[in-house]
Amino acid sequence: MTSVPRSILLSAVERYGSLLLFFVATAVLSRLLSPTEYGTYAVVNALITVIMTSFQEFGGATYLIQKHELGRSNIRSAFTVVFGISAPVGLLLYLSAGALSRFFVQDSLTHAIEVSALNFLILPVSGTILALFRRDMEFGKITISNLVANLAGSLTSIGLAMAHFSYMAPVWGVVVGNAVLTIMLLKWYRDWSVFRPSLVECRDVIGFGLYSGGVSIINVFYNLAPQLFLARILDFTSVGLYSRATSLTAMFDRLVTQVLSPVIMPAFAAQRKAGLDLRAVYLESVQLLSAVQWPFLIFVALMAQPIILIWLGPNWLEVVPLVRILCIANLALFAACLSYPVFVAVGRVRDALVSSFISLPPSLLVVFCAAFIGVEAVAAAALLTLPFQTAVAMYFVGRRLDFGLSDLAHALFKSAVVTVVAAGGTALCAALIEMGVVKPLVGLLAAPCVAALCWWLGLVMTKHPLLRQLQHAAGGVAGIIGPRLPLRRSVL
């Protein structure tokens, strides 16, 4: 196998293994923690993520991966910058835990924030090593380390929740998972000298990080802002419900986007160096991604009730309308994972920052106003904000790759037809469940098979390019297993 398909395969193994752990841990924790308890953890996690992202990109993965000639001084300077900001920020967060708790009018946040501050001493080390492994396409080491760390974190969360640690159970689970990940990566990466302080290349690190970090900060804050707004304006129960809804809506990202993301940026950079036409590569990628993402989101929207009932339990059925709204809104994000890698590949990271500053502040204002109405209004705000963000991003990407609206529409037409065909089968299964003809569990087990059959029919009817890619992949698998298994080649 070539490096890129092999990297995607290893990334898929890690992501799907982690996803299985996530499914099991979420199902268990949803029955041990109330929406309010989970909402408390969600707010703490949102605060930590926003603050961590605000400085991690200054010398993080993006800088280390995109650097054409990466020397030891670059690595040491990048780590020094990240850790030099991370440690003081972690200390400041620890000291301000009480003030933040009073701001959100929730005393229980204090201890959770103090414990979460430990992550700021751990993540700079693991982040640096992960970036170096991704740059060198060493996804095997990443896969093993992440799976072990996720298992440790999940077991810690479940064990502490069973011991009645309430919202502190997942907080400690995150800390333990990050600590185990760092230990595993340090065992793989023996050259610890890269962690010696150095500021030789700090100007280069910070110069790139001003744009890259700005893009990450504003995007991460936007994604987590609804939870923070709901916590401050409404209550922590609303935060728990909205957080669970976004977890289910983001399942496509966990299944597909996060598998491809570690590979997309290095792959685009390599194709740029080789002088390939990024315009054709981008439009084909959009065509392939939309043919999978759109049917998946429609499936989740139509089957939201049995999914929530069986996965999270009857206490979480209030999440169903939120999931349906967010799934429809997320149809607009068919190319979200491609935009930033394209800007990096063409050397226009500044465009990513400018487009974010144009689209996200108005979107935040809409979400903030919606929070005063209720949690469903916050979800409905995405129906306006996400298409607007996509339109702005498409404008800047189209300028750099020289394509227009007609080219994009042509690339998406077949995917739209495939989605309609697949949705027909899903809607039939959902209707049978709703009428009581079949039980929710039976319907939920049958629906993916029916939807997949209709999806395949749509691919064949439209002669979608994804069909050729799937046949090519199947041929590659057949070539690997054919000599080992007594199967007829004609069948393979």
| 261-297 pLDDT per residue, tens | 655 655 666 666 666 677 888 888 888 889 999 999 9
Same domain, 217 and 256: no
Say how far apart CA 59 and CA 62 lie, in whole Å. Answer: 8
Q: What is the mean pLDDT of residues 366-375?
A: 93
> 70: Cβ–Cβ under 8 A, 6 or more apart, which residues?
64, 135
Residue 316, CB-side half-sphere exposure with 13 Å CA sphere: 34
490 is a domain residue:
no
Residue 294 domain flag: yes
Say yes or no: 82 and 159 in one domain: yes
Asked if residue 219 belongs to a domain, the reply is yes
pLDDT over 50 at 378, yes or no: yes
In the chain, count H helices and then E strands: 22, 0
Lowest pLDDT segment from 197-206, 231-240, 424-433: 197-206
- Count other Cβ atoms within 10 Å, centred on residue 485: 8
- Please give the mean pLDDT across all residues of the chain: 83
164, 199, 225 — which closes off a domain?
225
Most confident of 173-177, 230-234, 333-337: 173-177
Task: List helix spans (H) across 117-201.
Answer: 119-135, 139-162, 168-188
Confidence of residue 377 (pLDDT cuts 50, 70, 90): very high
Percent of the chain exceeding pLDDT 70 equals 85
Same domain for 21 and 120, yes or no, is yes
> What radius of gyration do the chain's Cα atoms show?
23
Count the domains in the chain. 2
Q: DSSP letters of 383-414?
A: HHHHHHHHHHHHHHHHHHHT--HHHHHHHHHH
Q: Are 407 and 283 in contact (CB under 8 A)?
A: yes
- Give residue-wise pLDDT tens across range 83-126: 888 889 889 989 999 888 888 877 778 999 999 999 998 988 88
Nearest to 70 by CA among 126, 21, 128: 128
Q: Do the beta carbons of residue 59 and residue 186 sit within 8 Å?
A: no
| pTM, rounded to two decimals | 0.74
What percent of the chain has a predicted confidence (pLDDT) above 90?
35
Is there a contact between 308 and 316 (Cβ–Cβ < 8 Å)? Answer: yes
- Are residues 201 and 241 part of one domain? no
Residue 369 has pLDDT above 90, yes or no: yes
> What is the signed CA dihedral for 368, 374, 376, 381, rounded to 10 degrees?
-20
Same domain, 112 and 193: yes
CA dihedral 431, 434, 436, 437 (to 10 degrees): 10
Which residue, chain included where needed, has tokens 């200390």?
A: 91
Range with the lowest mean pLDDT among 81-95, 160-174, 390-404, 465-479? 465-479
Q: Any idea which of 204-213, 360-369, 432-441 has the lowest mean pLDDT?
A: 204-213
Q: Is 350 in the same domain as 406?
A: yes
pLDDT digits (tens, 9 = 90+) for 429-446: 999 998 888 898 899 999
Q: Which two tokens stand for residue 145?
A: 């380390």
Tell which of 178, 199, 225 closes a domain: 225
Domain residue limits at 113: 1-225
Instruction: Identify which has the larger pLDDT, 54 or 363.
Output: 363
Domain boundary among 170, 202, 225: 225
Mean pLDDT score, 189-197: 84
Same domain membership, residue 270 and residue 133:
no
pLDDT computed for residue 341 by the predictor: 80
Q: Is residue 492 part of a domain?
A: no
User: Would you say 268 and 442 are in contact if contact means Cβ atoms under 8 Å apart?
Assistant: no
**Assigned token pair, 362:** 């108005």
Rounded to the nearest 5 degrees, what angle is found at the Cα of 388, between the Cα atoms of 233 and 44? 35
How much is the pLDDT for 329?
95
Please report whether residue 441 resides in a domain. yes
Task: Say whether both 153 and 250 belong to one domain.
Answer: no
- Considering the domain architecture, whether residues 441 and 320 belong to the same structural domain is answered as yes
Rounded to an integer, what distance in angstroms lies between the CA atom of residue 284 and that of residue 270? Answer: 17
Task: Indicate whether 269 and 198 sit together in one domain.
Answer: no
Q: Is 489 domain-assigned?
A: no
pLDDT for res 486: 42
Does the structure show a pLDDT above 70 at 417?
Answer: yes
Q: What is the pLDDT of residues 314-364, one digit of tens each?
A: 889 999 999 999 999 999 998 888 887 888 777 777 788 788 889 988 999
Give the pLDDT score at 343.
81
Whether residue 423 is found in the same domain as residue 292: yes
- The verdict on 219 and 109 lying in the same domain is yes
Average pLDDT of span 26-44: 89
Instruction: Please check whether residue 47 lies inside any domain of the structure.
Output: yes
Q: State the average pLDDT over residues 393-419.
A: 91
- 335, part of any domain: yes
